[in-house]
Amino acid sequence: MDLGLKGNRALITGGTKGIGLRCAEIFAQEGAAVSICARNADEVAATVEKLKAADIDAYGEAVDVSDKAALENWISNSAYALGGIDMVVGNVSALAVTDDEDAWKAGFDTDMMHSVRLVNAAMPWLEKSKAASITLISSVSGREIDFTGPAYGAFKAAIVHYAQGLAFKLADKNIRANTVSPGNTYFEGGIWASIETGNPELFAEALALNPTGRMATPEEIARGAVFLASPASSFTTGTNLVIDGALTRGVQF
């Protein structure tokens, strides 16, 4: 299927690893120009060079997305480098799963406010786009009470609510807004790879909850996210796409 991405410009936060990296790579393979950010400057530079191998324009900066000014500067610089913005994918999480006030602060600053600031700062360019979309990465932890901490689940649920509101508010501007809620996703350098060696009991508990007997790959989540962001999904807005291999049992109507 042609996703209609050729010539569009996509921004992805957390674009050097896991789901964010695969989103960036798929956008590039489909012919979109791409800008990424992440905290590690060397990883950003290496990823940008890799993206350019797809013969597209690529840009990146080292950014802590909880830093409002730094995030906004990257968005502005990206728009200048790529000639505009058509779609944004908010992918960064603090992964704050402890049950304390620090987790609430980290989740608010990184998960929630990074999403809000990403949208607000990109809005002047999205309003000029003919294929504007906002895609925010939530989590199945926002749908069900699980072994993660209360702050993590609460902010992931809030992101879904926020995107639903954007979808309604921005519909008359032809700007779409959706979320993706992944189940447990495994990749080298990711949280579950770390838990596998650092806390094998928790890893075994989490793996046992997956009816498929495995966790998702970044590819499986990114394909859904890029489709939602693309013009091929032009009448889909206000949707929360759960990609979890039947991990959760709540029925969506």
pLDDT one-digit tens code per residue, 151-166: 999 999 999 999 999 9
CATH of domain 9-185+217-243: 3.40.50.720
pLDDT one-digit tens code per residue, 195-224: 899 999 989 999 999 999 999 999 999 999
Ranges under pLDDT 70 in the chain: none
Choosing from 115, 129, 138, 230, which is the catalytic residue? Answer: 138
* Amino acid 1: pLDDT: 85
* Amino acid 146: pLDDT: 87
Choosing from 78, 141, 156, 233, which is the catalytic residue? Answer: 156
Contact yes or no for 193/186 (Cβ under 8 A): yes
Please state, in angstroms and rounded to a whole number, the distance separating the CA atoms of residues 36 and 57. 12
Single pTM value for the model:
0.96
For the question of residue 138 being annotated catalytic, the response is yes
Choosing from 152, 186, 230, 233, which is the catalytic residue? Answer: 152
* Amino acid 250: pLDDT: 84
For the question of residue 130 being annotated catalytic, the response is no
Choosing from 139, 141, 230, 233, which is the catalytic residue? Answer: 139
Domain boundaries, the chain: 9-185+217-243
For the question of residue 139 being annotated catalytic, the response is yes
For the question of residue 93 being annotated catalytic, the response is no
